Amino acid sequence: MKPSTEQDIRRMTRWLAWFAVVVLMVGVVRGRSSIGTYFKLKASAGKLEAAVAVLESGNREMQEEIERIKSSKNYARKVLRDKYHVTDSDEKIIFFTE
């Protein structure tokens, strides 16, 4: 066995560096935490953020509706009639057949 020269040490270091790069790239592409998984999670996070925005908007609308119902008895009666089909005591329901 001949003694290692500085050039042999550099060559071995380069080879090890390339090997490490290849191993890391394979890990990035096919590993448990791969790039594909990252993009799937990113897309999922976007969908969840959009769903949260829709729910927050609906929540604001419901809060406004509650305030309108609390502040106006006439509006509360209108909502009861239109949405929940509640009638006053002096009203009667008539069904027509065809």
Return mean pLDDT, the chain.
86
Q: Exposed, middle or buried by CB within 10 Å (0-12, 13-18, 19+), for 69?
A: middle
27 pLDDT tier (thresholds 50, 70, 90)? confident
Statement: residue 91 has pLDDT above 80:
no
Determine the pLDDT at residue 47: 97
Count CB-CB contacts under 10 A for residue 27: 12
Mean pLDDT of the 66-95 span: 86
Q: Assess whether pLDDT exceeds 60 at residue 2.
A: no
- Identify the pLDDT of residue 4: 67
